[in-house]
């Protein structure tokens, strides 16, 4: 696995990637201990669990898996002292097209994840936790299981960890090639050994009826790693790195038509989209201009290069005014990307230059969703297939003038009518591609 | 709807609804016993140990070990046939349909033998923009595979059985597109020359 992570850009602020990015860093426990490993896990046990949850709340950490939900608030849904067992499931399915960050943690810095999990489990009174990772990360199992064994040997996992009387077992669980398993309730069904059909919410909110129908926290790999650093830096310091309500650093994974694609860990809100593409990623290929950006994984709505959107801002006299923001000045935090009509999602930024055909690109994504629908609800199962067939027809033979509006119509009839958010994830590309680039979806000669 | 309503009113229940029943055709059962016994002879001690160990990871419900067991089985035998499904189902006290439905759902599992070397080319956007369709075509041409063959339950395989080549969705390495998995190893920024070299190396 290449050196993509080994050359931090000067504007990066590396916390989660700090060690993983060092060329001579190895995944064994001695190396981790020599780099300050397990210091915060030990410290956690000197704190009251409620104090840890408060720290995470105050840090303004938002989930890095897709929905950007405040992690402390999610943890607050767990009633620490109810009678039931609680579980933690770490989401390492990382299948959202454009996303490639958790892979570095799982392969290069496994103990950081374990330390984050230990702190989380102590805070939430959890004694059994799973790490769910896609099986395409073929070496992750051996690396993580070795790390788990090392931590056991040191007394950091198993019975009476750190001599505190607290028991915790962590196991690694491999997926089997299905994107839908990244959806949290699908992940739980998969972990229970069933077909991974997402559960309907309500009532199946994981924090209420999760794994084995017990309260369960599902968090992304990167999210859990941040927990260690919140304890290390203190929530105030951690929060101050980001923007109000969106603390710390976030890994943005840039792919597509830039000179230097890669994962970049940046203080939240410290760069604009323009800076990300042109300063950090070395700009576009020679002679090319920017056409479109998908800002947060393939499911987020596409943004058009010359787009200008309005945000609410404070004027000098303190009143709120509408401010016009050109796309390249969009700040890369959850709120700003949402204000531009899309989402920061999983941080997967896919850049397209003027050589790209938007119908072709959409058709590629439609085929992805057609392949990955779990098939449980009719609008999604049928709709994504129709969308993929239609966009294929529009490229090739048999295209009709009404195809674009039919395509849009199908998407409109999926979103909001399904069990899980895959319905939206599959519809947003079609809706946004057609809305933003209507000229490319007309009849072709 | 019915199913949903039922779910909502049900007591939280982690017991398995698919426990094996003792009904059914006795003679079929005897055939099955015989083939399972044969199968068991083929299981090495190592595999059996791995299976036992995997099951201990799921103290709350044995059924959770279904995917791990399927992985172990496929890694060992190359694919999962009917007797494998039956064996795993028995080991976990399930009806075989509870295992079969996993094999048919998850794209990673297959029911027929693949070629000796399996090449999975990423088909999704970032890789497609970087030329993964051309790379896929190159792999198919050089190995004599008909790229129109679809379906993961028997992978498109070369006539000499040396290679299986398939498109897969995003492999989580879009920054070094185009990528492919060659057996267990990730190949990054794969050019047409690289593709040629991979075929040579594994021929
Ligand atoms: C279709 C779909 C796919 C998803 N895939 C992933 C994934 O691969 N990894 C992930 O962490 N979250 C994924 N999510 C989000 C999870 O459902 C869940 O919100 C997340 O794991 C929670 O972790 P966080 O709060 O730390 O972000 C997906 C959601 C949907 C609807
Ligand atoms: S929306 Fe699609 S993926 Fe989600 S449960 Fe329904 S059919 Fe399955
Ligand atoms: S699109 Fe190929 S690895 Fe993500």
Domain assignments of chain B as residue spans, ordered by start: 39-105, 117-202
ipTM passes above 0.95: yes
Range A160-163 contact pairs with CB under 8 angstroms and sequence separation of 24 or more: A161/A118, A162/A41, A162/A42, A162/A45
pLDDT tens digit sequence for B77-113 = 999 999 999 999 999 999 999 999 999 999 999 999 9
Distances (CA, A) of A40 to A20, A43, A116, A251: 18, 5, 9, 22
Higher-pLDDT residue of B106, B42: B106
Give the mean pLDDT of B125-153: 87
Residues 6+ apart with CB under 8 A from B148: none
Does pLDDT of B24 surpass 80? no
Pairing of strands A216-220, A87-92: parallel
Residue B1 has pLDDT above 60, yes or no: no
- Whether B51 is in the pocket of ligand 3, judged by its Cβ within 6 Å, is no
In this prediction, what percent of chain A has a pLDDT beyond 90?
94
Asked if residue B4 has pLDDT above 80, the reply is no
Residue B41: the pLDDT is 67
Query: Which pLDDT does position B7 carry in this prediction?
Result: 44
What pLDDT is stored for residue B12 in this prediction?
44
CA distances B46 to A160, B52, B78, Å, are 31, 10, 16
The C-alpha of A262 sits at a distance from chain B's nearest C-alpha, in angstroms, of 5
The one-character DSSP state at B63 is G
Residue A19, both tokens? 């060690």
**Which pLDDT band, with edges at 50, 70 and 90, does B26 fall under?**
low
| Nearest residue of A to residue B179, measured between CA atoms | A1
* pLDDT band (50, 70, 90) for residue B25: low
Q: How far is the CA of A207 from the centre of ligand 1 (A)?
A: 15
pLDDT for residue B39: 65
- Give per-residue pLDDT as tens, B159-203: 999 999 999 999 999 999 999 999 999 999 999 999 999 999 999
Contact B66, B84 (CB under 8 A): no
pTM comes to 0.93
Percent of chain A at pLDDT > 70 equals: 99
Q: Check A173 against B57: CB less than 8 A apart.
A: yes
For residue A257, CA distances in Å to A175, A285, A412, B177 come to 30, 7, 30, 11
Residue B40: pLDDT over 70: no
Average pLDDT, consecutive stretches of 10 residues, N- to C-terminus, chain A (445 residues): 84 98 96 98 98 98 96 96 94 98 98 98 98 98 98 98 98 98 98 98 96 98 98 98 96 98 98 98 97 98 95 86 94 95 97 98 98 98 98 92 96 97 98 97 77
The atom of ligand 1 lying closest to the CA of A424 is 31
Please report which ligand is nearest the Cα atom of A380.
Answer: 2
Cβ separation A261–B174 shorter than 8 A: yes
Chain B residues 142-201 with CB within 8 Å of chain A: 168-177, 181, 184-186, 188-189
Residue A315: the pLDDT is 85
Could you tell me where the beta strands, DSSP code E, fall in A93-211? 128-133, 158-161, 166-174
Asked whether B128 lines ligand 3 (CB < 6 A), one says no
**Residue numbers in A near B102 (CB within 8 A):** 176, 193-195
Q: Would you state the pLDDT for residue A21? A: 96
CATH pick for B117-202 out of 3.40.30.10, 1.20.120.420, 3.40.109.10, 3.40.50.970: 3.40.30.10
Between residues A8 and B22, which one has the greater pLDDT? A8
pLDDT score of B151 more than 70: no
Between helix A110-124 and helix A221-233 the angle, nearest 10°, is 80
Q: Which atom of ligand 1 is nearest to the CA of A67?
A: 19
| Ligand 2 atom showing the smallest separation from residue A198 Cα | 5
Residue B21 has pLDDT above 80, yes or no: no
Q: Are A250 and A347 in contact (CB under 8 A)?
A: yes
> In whole numbers, what is the pLDDT of chain B averaged over residues?
86
Q: Is A288 exposed, middle or buried (0-12, 13-18, 19+ CB in 10 A)?
A: middle
Contact A65/B at CB under 8 A: no
- Distances from the Cα of B8 to the Cαs of A203, A357, A390, in angstroms? 7, 47, 37
């Amino acid at each position: 696995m290449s050196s993509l992570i080994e050359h931090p850009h000067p504007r990066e602020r590396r916390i989660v990637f700090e060690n993983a990015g060092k060329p001579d860093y190895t995944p064994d426990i001695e190396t981790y201990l020599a780099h300050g490993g397990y210091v915060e896990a030990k410290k956690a046990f000197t704190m009251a669990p409620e104090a840890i949850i408060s720290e995470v709340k105050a840090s303004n950490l938002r989930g890095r898996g897709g929905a950007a939900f405040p992690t402390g608030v999610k943890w607050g849904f767990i009633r620490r002292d109810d009678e039931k067992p609680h579980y933690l499931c770490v989401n390492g399915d990382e299948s959202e097209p454009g996303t490639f960050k958790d892979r570095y943690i799982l392969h290069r810095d496994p103990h950081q994840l374990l330390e984050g999990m230990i702190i989380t489990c102590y805070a939430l009174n959890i004694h059994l936790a799973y790490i769910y990772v896609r099986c395409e990360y073929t070496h992750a199992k051996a690396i993580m299981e070795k790390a788990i064994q090392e931590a056991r040997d040191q007394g950091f996992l198993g019975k009476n960890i750190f001599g505190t009387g607290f028991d915790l077992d962590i196991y690694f669980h491999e997926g089997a090639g299905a994107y839908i398993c990244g959806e949290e309730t699908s992940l739980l069904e998969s972990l229970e050994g069933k077909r991974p059909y997402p559960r309907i919410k309500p009532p199946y909110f994981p924090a209420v009826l999760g794994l084995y129908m017990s309260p369960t926290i599902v968090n992304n790999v990167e999210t859990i790693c941040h927990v260690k650093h919140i304890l290390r830096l203190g929530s105030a310091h951690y929060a101050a790195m980001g923007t109000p309500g969106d603390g710390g650093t976030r890994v943005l994974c840039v792919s597509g038509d830039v000179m230097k694609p890669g994962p970049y860990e940046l203080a939240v809100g410290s760069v604009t989209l323009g800076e990300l593409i042109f300063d950090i990623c070395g700009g576009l290929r020679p002679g090319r201009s920017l056409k479109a950006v998908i800002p947060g994984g393939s499911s987020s709505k596409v943004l058009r290069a010359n787009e200008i959107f309005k945000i609410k801002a404070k004027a000098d006299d303190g009143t709120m005014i509408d401010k016009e923001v050109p796309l390249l000045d969009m700040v890369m935090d959850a709120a700003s990307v949402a204000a531009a009509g899309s989402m920061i999602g999983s941080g997967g930024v896919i850049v397209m230059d003027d050589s790209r055909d938007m119908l072709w690109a959409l058709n590629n994504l439609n085929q992805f969703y057609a392949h990955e629908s779990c098939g449980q609800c009719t609008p999604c199962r049928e709709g994504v297939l129709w969308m993929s067939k239609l966009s294929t027809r529009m490229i090739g033979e048999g295209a009709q003038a009404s195809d674009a509006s039919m395509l849009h119509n199908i998407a409109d009839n999926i979103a909001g009518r399904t069990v899980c958010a895959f319905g939206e994830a599959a519809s947003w590309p079609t809706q946004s591609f057609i809305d933003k680039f209507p000229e490319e979806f007309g009849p072709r000669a | 709807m019915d199913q949903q309503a039922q779910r909502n009113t049900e007591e939280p229940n982690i017991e398995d609804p698919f426990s094996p029943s003792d009904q059914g055709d006795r003679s079929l059962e005897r055939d099955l016993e015989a083939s399972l016994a044969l199968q068991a002879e083929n299981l090495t001690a190592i595999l059996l140990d791995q299976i036992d160990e995997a099951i201990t990871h799921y103290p709350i419900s044995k059924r959770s070990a279904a995917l791990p067991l399927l992985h172990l089985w496929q890694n060992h035998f190359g694919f999962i046939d009917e007797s494998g499904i039956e064996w795993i189902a028995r080991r976990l006290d399930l009806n075989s349909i509870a295992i079969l439905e996993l094999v048919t759902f998850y794209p990673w599992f297959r029911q027929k033998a693949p070629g000796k070397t399996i090449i999975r080319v990423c088909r999704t956007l970032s890789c497609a923009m970087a030329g993964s369709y051309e790379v896929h075509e190159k792999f198919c041409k050089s190995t004599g595979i008909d790229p129109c063959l679809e379906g993961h339950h028997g992978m498109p395989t070369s006539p000499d059985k040396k290679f299986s080549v398939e498109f897969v969705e995003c492999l989580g390495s879009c920054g070094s597109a185009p990528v492919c998995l060659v057996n267990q190893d990730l190949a990054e920024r794969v050019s047409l020359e690289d593709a040629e070299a991979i075929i040579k190396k594994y021929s």
